[in-house]
Structure 1
């Protein structure tokens, strides 16, 4: 009798567990798509065009940027970074090649990490971008980058 009850209980739980897993997968797919869209529209395109308003819209206030460029340490606040983007010639206006590529996106609840590659000017950046979902929207809250030779 106990085996029959246990079997019935397990068969009753399996559809519930599958539904929960399917919901999580659906949410992860939606969140992954939202992050990828934000990267394409508000990150890569904004960097390419030098559009600091659009770029600032994906960078959460207080975002910090760290890394190295040509072997030199790099550390900036969000505002310092946006000022630099504003005061430089955009990759679009320079006529030099630009390409942004999403390597991976990993999501855990309301946090995520995206690995991207950005080729601009004479740089090949590997970037690790930390995201946080705030009020239903994904923001970059930290950027780490390294210029690599290819």
Structure 2
């Protein structure tokens, strides 16, 4: 599997994990020390991976059979570092997510997520 394919697989884990409140998928996609940062409802939100996962689980899963929105705009890879821009939806809100990934022990992990919430 190429690095681009491996990174795409991690992005799919992330988006599906959010859409279907799949804790295992989210834990597999994110490094334990990852940070999730963005402005949400007028305030800066700065979460840990576990805080982010809790927020996803508290919101709940999309109905079965739902096709999550995921539009990968860009993947940029340099050695063992990568950046991905993905447009996705969660709980009826549309986001632009900027994901930073690092290849650790042969496996790509999201180490940082910065997001922008689009106006409704």
TM-score of the superposed pair, with normalisation by structure 1: 0.73
Richer in helix (by share):
1
Whose radius of gyration is greater, 1 or 2?
1
Question: Does the 8 A contact of 1:91 with 1:97 survive in 2?
Answer: no
Among candidates 33, 38, 41, match of residue 10 of structure 2:
38
Summarize deviations over 1:74-104 as a string: whole Å, max 9, x none.
11011111111122221236x9874121111
TM-score of the superposed pair, with normalisation by structure 2: 0.89
Question: Does the 8 A contact of 1:67 with 1:74 survive in 2?
Answer: yes
1:92 and 1:75 mapped to 2: Cα distance? 28
1:117 and 1:35 mapped to 2: Cα distance? 15
Counterpart in the other structure of 2:116? 146
Unpaired segments of 5 or more residues in structure 1?
1-28
1:97 and 1:122 mapped to 2: Cα distance? 13
Q: What CA RMSD, in Å, does the superposition of the two structures yield over aligned residues?
A: 2.0
SS of the residue aligned with 2:25? helix
1:85 and 1:48 mapped to 2: Cα distance? 8
Question: Does the 8 A contact of 2:70 with 2:88 survive in 1?
Answer: yes
Question: Does the 8 A contact of 2:18 with 2:90 survive in 1?
Answer: no
Counterpart in the other structure of 2:105? 135
Richer in strand (by share):
2
Note the C-alpha offset of 1:54: 1.2
SS of the residue aligned with 1:38? helix
| Segments of 4+ moved more than 2 angstroms | 95-98
Unpaired segments of 5 or more residues in structure 2?
none
Note the C-alpha offset of 1:121: 2.4
Counterpart in the other structure of 2:96? 126
**Highest RCO, 1 vs 2 (Cα 8 Å, sep ≥ 6):** 2
2:116 and 2:66 mapped to 1: Cα distance? 20
